[in-house]
């Protein structure tokens, strides 16, 4: 018979078992108690006043139109309001990631885009790392589907809005929502007025009016303007040298921001330069070593002088004038995304990924999640925040849980650009297998934690050692350097006192240089004091 040791000898073991049981039990209890359905309430569909809507959606971009489509399909009365008339342009890189492609397929929009030759699926693509390692591969045959496609927003948004309209949503174009937006709490009804005096009423309000969201700001849910920014310019088909579908460039001077080229239908190119909020002052517009003021210079220098981008552009690209738009990343500036009778979605809620600057797919996923929750609320008759909170739970599960890690990732590659070189090194070694993993993580098909899995992290660790060896010991020359003319411009910019962009040194190296300079000055002062005191 097995003899158990006396209790006193096993105290540690029992304590560990008790803690494990308590933590496990706590988690199970939390999961069991977690609310999964809206509560019952008084506002069932039969109580809706004549002429009122179940849901009023402000903004018919990807988030608002997708929400309207699924709500209308589910039988709700929906008003979809937009200040513009469609088709209208939206400044964007036009790269639509896989989760959005799936939603567009469900809505029948992909078929329409294909038939009209307005979409190009990215069969091959890749990236260029800060030290100039590059890889262009074919991830599609590994993934079985394209990781992204490119569609001009002027073509995409009109089709998504019309799909919502066909599903039964009441699309009101040229309806600019003004300051008069009020909730009658007793009646459970919003009244929304346009700037020219038209009025709609409804049980729920969905703010989907984009990154500067006037609505969420005036209602007090958004407390700061968006801090990220990106440029865009189209390049006429046939006037460039790009022989790939999509390529991302990480020049070290604008990290964690990056430049990207996507090929559209009819051989046209879309070029964007993203500046991603990062650093101690990210809340006030710091984007690594850059600010929004640097965008125009970076964009134009990249097209003319960047060793990789200018090669893809060719000698005479027919390039349109640069335009820019703001990026609200990782929920920046938002106090909440739900309240009584209210939901905030898409860019208005800061659904842009803090590492990639992309937000069409999260806008659509968020729009669909909002519709699912609101249909359940409508059936239960409750639109209080005790029920609408299910929406925040849902978008956090879908993609929001990734935002913190994306933010950390952006911070890391800004401080240690060699990490991106290590990724490029490993992609070069493994080829398309690794490229497809990279593409899946960057397009939200897999969470960022995927990079922490041992089978991914260990090879990346070895790649990092290889890069340290080659860059620090073997002194491999940096291949991502600007030619002299552009460098001079960057130096003038640095002298003028603005944050340095375009320099080839990393923040860590700059700090080391500053420390050395301070030490030298201190030694000089000490020598001076010593000389005065007659010690030398």
Of residues 364 and 418, the one with the C-beta less far from ligand FAD: 364
Interaction between residue 368 and ligand FAD (CB under 6 A) = no
Of residues 381 and 409, the one with the C-beta less far from ligand FAD: 409
Scanning 59-67, 250-258, 287-295, 336-344 for contacts with ligand FAD by CB under 6 A, the matching segment is: 59-67
Q: How far is the CB of 140 from ligand FAD (least distance, A)?
A: 18
- Residue by residue, DSSP assigns 40-70 as P-S--GGGPPTT-EEEEEE--SHHHHHHHHH
Of residues 61 and 354, the one with the C-beta less far from ligand FAD: 61
Give the span between the Cα atoms of 167 and 517, in whole angstroms: 67
Q: How far is the CB of 390 from ligand FAD (least distance, A)?
A: 20
Interaction between residue 251 and ligand FAD (CB under 6 A) = no
CA distances from 345 to 338, 352, 392, 448 (A): 9, 11, 10, 22
Interaction between residue 350 and ligand FAD (CB under 6 A) = no
Cβ neighbours of residue 271 closer than 8 Å, sequence gap 6 or more:
231, 232, 233, 234, 235, 259, 260, 261, 299, 302, 303, 309, 313, 319
Scanning 23-31, 48-56, 80-88, 432-440 for contacts with ligand FAD by CB under 6 A, the matching segment is: 80-88
Footprint on residues 428-487 left by ligand FAD (CB under 6 A): none
Contact map string, positions 187 to 226, toward ligand FAD, x by CB under 6 A: ---------------------xxx---x------------
* 182 φ/ψ angles, rounded to the nearest 5 degrees: -135, 150
Cβ neighbours of residue 400 closer than 8 Å, sequence gap 6 or more:
331, 351, 392
Residue 172 tokens read as 């009101």
Interaction between residue 363 and ligand FAD (CB under 6 A) = yes
Of residues 82 and 490, the one with the C-beta less far from ligand FAD: 82
Interaction between residue 60 and ligand FAD (CB under 6 A) = yes
Interaction between residue 343 and ligand FAD (CB under 6 A) = no
Residue 50 burial by Cβ neighbours in a 10 Å radius (0-12, 13-18, 19+): exposed
Give the span between the Cα atoms of 57 and 45, in whole angstroms: 18
Give the span between the Cα atoms of 94 and 105, in whole angstroms: 17
Scanning 15-23, 175-183, 412-420, 423-431 for contacts with ligand FAD by CB under 6 A, the matching segment is: 175-183
Interaction between residue 402 and ligand FAD (CB under 6 A) = no
Of residues 364 and 464, the one with the C-beta less far from ligand FAD: 364
Q: How far is the CB of 426 from ligand FAD (least distance, A)?
A: 25
Of residues 172 and 476, the one with the C-beta less far from ligand FAD: 172
Of residues 325 and 381, the one with the C-beta less far from ligand FAD: 325
Interaction between residue 358 and ligand FAD (CB under 6 A) = yes
- Is the CB of residue 149 less than 8 Å from the CB of residue 122? yes
Scanning 174-182, 382-390, 415-423, 496-504 for contacts with ligand FAD by CB under 6 A, the matching segment is: 174-182
Of residues 200 and 313, the one with the C-beta less far from ligand FAD: 200
CA distances from 328 to 148, 163, 280, 346 (A): 21, 27, 17, 10
Footprint on residues 90-119 left by ligand FAD (CB under 6 A): 90-95
Interaction between residue 361 and ligand FAD (CB under 6 A) = yes
**HSE, side-chain direction, 13 A CA sphere, residue 393:** 14
Q: How far is the CB of 66 from ligand FAD (least distance, A)?
A: 8
Which helix (DSSP H) or strand (DSSP E) does residue 257 occupy?
Answer: none
Q: How far is the CB of 460 from ligand FAD (least distance, A)?
A: 25
Of residues 125 and 132, the one with the C-beta less far from ligand FAD: 125
Q: How far is the CB of 439 from ligand FAD (least distance, A)?
A: 14
Question: What three-state secondary structure class fits 377?
Answer: helix
Select from 77, 232, 297, 378 the one that contacts ligand FAD (CB under 6 A): 232
Interaction between residue 312 and ligand FAD (CB under 6 A) = no
Of residues 84 and 123, the one with the C-beta less far from ligand FAD: 84
Select from 38, 64, 257, 400 the one that contacts ligand FAD (CB under 6 A): 64
Interaction between residue 322 and ligand FAD (CB under 6 A) = no
Q: How far is the CB of 178 from ligand FAD (least distance, A)?
A: 7
State the sign of the Cα–Cα–Cα–Cα dihedral 82, 331, 289, 522.
Answer: positive
Give the span between the Cα atoms of 140 and 147, in whole angstroms: 7
Give the span between the Cα atoms of 315 and 147, in whole angstroms: 30
Select from 81, 282, 374, 424 the one that contacts ligand FAD (CB under 6 A): 81
Give the span between the Cα atoms of 286 and 283, in whole angstroms: 7
Select from 256, 330, 346, 354 the one that contacts ligand FAD (CB under 6 A): 346
Of residues 93 and 277, the one with the C-beta less far from ligand FAD: 93
Burial 194-225 (b: 16+ CB within 10 A, else e): beeeeebbbbbbbbbbbbebbbbbebebbeee
Using the 8-state DSSP alphabet, how is residue 470 labeled? I
Give the chain's largest Cα–Cα span. 97
Residue 518 tokens read as 């301070």
Select from 143, 360, 413, 463 the one that contacts ligand FAD (CB under 6 A): 360
- Is the CB of residue 231 less than 8 Å from the CB of residue 254? no
Give contact residues for ligand FAD (rule: CB under 6 A).
Answer: 58-64, 81-84, 90-95, 175-177, 208-210, 214, 230, 232, 272, 325, 327, 346-348, 352, 358-361, 363
């Amino acid at each position: 018979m097995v003899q158990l040791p006396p209790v006193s000898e096993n105290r540690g073991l029992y304590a560990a078992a008790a803690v494990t049981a308590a933590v496990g039990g706590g988690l199970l209890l939390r999961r069991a108690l977690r609310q999964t359905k809206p509560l019952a309430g008084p506002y069932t569909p039969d109580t809706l006043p004549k002429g009122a809507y179940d849901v009023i959606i402000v903004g018919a971009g990807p988030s608002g139109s997708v929400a309207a489509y699924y709500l209308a399909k589910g039988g709700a009365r929906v008003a979809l309001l937009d200040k513009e008339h469609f088709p209208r342009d939206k400044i964007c890189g036009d790269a639509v990631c896989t989760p959005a492609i799936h939603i567009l397929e469900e809505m029948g929009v992909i078929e329409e885009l294909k038939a009209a030759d307005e979409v190009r699926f990215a069969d091959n693509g890749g990236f260029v790392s800060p030290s100039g390692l590059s890889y262009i591969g074919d991830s599609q045959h590994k993934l079985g589907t394209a990781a992204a496609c490119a569609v001009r927003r002027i073509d995409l948004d009109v089709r998504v809005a019309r799909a919502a309209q066909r599903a039964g949503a009441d699309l009101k174009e040229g309806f600019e929502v003004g300051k008069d937006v009020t909730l009658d709490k007793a009646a459970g009804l919003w009244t929304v007025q346009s700037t020219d005096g038209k009025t709609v009423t409804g049980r729920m309000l969905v703010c989907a009016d984009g990154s500067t969201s006037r609505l969420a700001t005036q209602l007090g849910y958004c407390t700061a303007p968006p801090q990220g920014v990106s440029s865009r310019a189209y390049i006429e088909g046939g006037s460039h040298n790009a022989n790939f579908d999509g390529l991302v460039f990480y020049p070290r001077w604008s990290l964690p921001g990056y430049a990207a080229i996507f090929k559209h239908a009819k051989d046209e190119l879309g070029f964007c330069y993203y500046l991603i909020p990062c650093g101690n002052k990210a809340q006030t517009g710091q984007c690594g070593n850059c600010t929004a003021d640097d965008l125009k210079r970076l964009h134009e220098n990249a097209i003319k002088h960047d060793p990789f981008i200018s090669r893809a552009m060719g000698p005479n690209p027919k390039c349109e004038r640069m335009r820019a738009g703001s990026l609200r990343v990782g929920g920046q500036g938002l106090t909440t995304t739900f309240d009584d009778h209210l939901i905030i979605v898409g860019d208005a809620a800061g659904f842009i990924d803090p590492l990639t600057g992309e937000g069409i797919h999260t806008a659509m996923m968020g729009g669909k999640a909002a519709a699912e929750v609101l249909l359940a609320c409508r059936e239960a008759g409750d639109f209080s925040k005790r029920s609408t909170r299910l929406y925040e739970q849902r978008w956090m599960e879908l993609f929001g849980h990734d935002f913190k890690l994306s933010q950390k990732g952006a911070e890391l590659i800004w401080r240690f650009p060699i990490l991106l070189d290590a990724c490029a090194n490993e992609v070069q070694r493994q080829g398309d297998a690794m490229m497809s993993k990279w593409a899946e993580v960057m397009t939200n098909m897999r969470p960022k934690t995927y990079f922490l899995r041992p089978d991914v992290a260990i090879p990346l660790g070895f790649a990092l050692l290889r890069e340290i060896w080659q860059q620090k010991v073997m002194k491999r020359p940096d291949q991502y350097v600007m030619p002299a003319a552009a460098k001079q411009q960057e130096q003038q910019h640095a002298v003028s006192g603005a944050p340095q962009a375009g320099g080839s040194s990393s923040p860590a190296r700059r700090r080391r240089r500053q420390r050395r300079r301070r030490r030298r000055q201190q030694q000089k002062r000490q020598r001076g004091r010593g000389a005065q005191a007659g010690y030398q």
